[in-house]
Homo-oligomer: A and B are copies of this chain.
Amino acid sequence: MPRAGTSANGRPRPATIRDVAERAGVSVATVSRILSGTYPSAPTTRGRVLRAVRELDYVANARARGLAGGQAKSVAIVVNSVISPHYAHVAQGVQDEAAREGRLCLVGTTGGDADRELATVQLMREEHAEAVILVGNIVVDDAYHERMAGYARALAAAGSQLVLCGRPPLGPDVPAIVVEYDNTAGAHAVTSHLLSAGHERILFLGRRAGYTTPDSRVAGYRAALAAYRVPHDPGLEVDGRMDRQEGYRMMRARLDEGPRDFTAVFACNDLIAAGARQALREQGLRIPDDISLAGFDDLPSAADIDLTTVHVPHEELGRTAVRLALHSETPGTVQHVMLGTHIVVRDSVRRRDVLSA
């Protein structure tokens, strides 16, 4: 007869609810009820059961509970990488809200690879996560759309939820929750800020055609230029990925290329801004005295370098994703939330007339 702590083959085995029941001299069902706490019970029985639980250091088997009861208590988040601050902050929001709701957090990373993403979503499906939250920037084409629609339908059919975080919606026929933030408005706002400070030649760092996030930010940039009736010079838009090295590279290359033909820089995100800033400083250019600089994201490090930037509610994004997913009245519905962004003015932008004065 295997005892708690040892199975037939000698391998350690955790105590089960039956061990608790035996020790307390009650039935398994009673233990289950007392532990779930939703049923009335005699104080005596209750005490005996709780004591047995403590003595055996019993914890319920989540897998068995999930099988027997309803849904599992877990939320899945899928990101490119854990070490990118943008993702990390969203993930933190997901963690927070999941914990608040008593949910566990499953994390998967894709490295930006579509195959790994697919595999990860399948894995989360096997785990029966209540929701699968996909976060981040991505190329949107037909293949992507089809793939996401597939995820959404498969998850919905399994009573789960696909949540797209910081990605555009898929359409009315696809059951997914979308939690976005307003990239275009944010980019419009900073660009206007630069324009109203008298800057007309604004370098945009980090364009990347086909990727939703840079695309939307470029759009906001261009719209602001148009609103101010400032001619749009495509030569001021520099292609590059959204990390710090790229920011340095793009700025450095631009400075090496020839005479400086801009007075301000709008970096597609704070990482690029940080890299660009380093390149500028290395050339003896001061910010904001010689060059104005703005970013996007408002990561904590932005405050450290006094960067004027657009605040993205990263953690709120994660929290909202979880909240909507868990409290969705009718699972499998399409919902769309657009969170606001706002400009945070620090000290990296100067009026142009002050400069020329």
Name A residues whose Cβ lies closer than 8 Å to a Cβ of B: 5, 11-14, 57, 59-67, 72, 81-83, 85, 88-89, 91-92, 95-96, 99, 104-109, 116, 122-123, 125-128, 154, 156-159, 244, 248, 274-275, 278, 300-301, 304-305, 331-332
Q: Min CB distance, A131 to chain B, in Å?
A: 14
Q: Min CB distance, A104 to chain B, in Å?
A: 6
A-B pairs, top 8 by smallest CB distance, nearest first, are A14-B158, A62-B126, A63-B63, A63-B66, A12-B159, A107-B107, A83-B88, A82-B92
Looking at A126, A128, A278, A301, the one whose CB has the most chain B CB atoms below 10 A away is A126
Determine the residue in chain B with the shortest Cβ distance to A89: B83
Determine the residue in chain B with the shortest Cβ distance to A77: B107
> A92 touching B88 by the CB < 8 A rule?
no
Q: Min CB distance, A68 to chain B, in Å?
A: 10
Residues of chain B lying within 8 A (CB to CB) of residue A157: 5, 12, 14, 57
Residues of chain B lying within 8 A (CB to CB) of residue A83: 85, 88-89, 91-92
Q: Which of B89, B99, B158 contacts A12 (CB 8 A)?
A: B158
Determine the residue in chain B with the shortest Cβ distance to A84: B88
- Using A85-B83, A107-B95 as known contacts, say yes or no to A13 and B158 having CB atoms under 8 A apart: yes
In Å, the complex CA distance between A157 and B14 comes to: 6
In Å, the complex CA distance between A65 and B125 comes to: 13
- Using A95-B107, A274-B304 as known contacts, say yes or no to A61 and B12 having CB atoms under 8 A apart: no
> A304 touching B331 by the CB < 8 A rule?
no
Residues of chain B lying within 8 A (CB to CB) of residue A85: 83
Residues of chain B lying within 8 A (CB to CB) of residue A108: 95, 99, 104-105
Determine the residue in chain B with the shortest Cβ distance to A247: B304
Residues of chain B lying within 8 A (CB to CB) of residue A244: 300-301, 304
Residues of chain B lying within 8 A (CB to CB) of residue A99: 108-109, 116
- Using A109-B95, A109-B99, A158-B13 as known contacts, say yes or no to A127 and B88 having CB atoms under 8 A apart: no
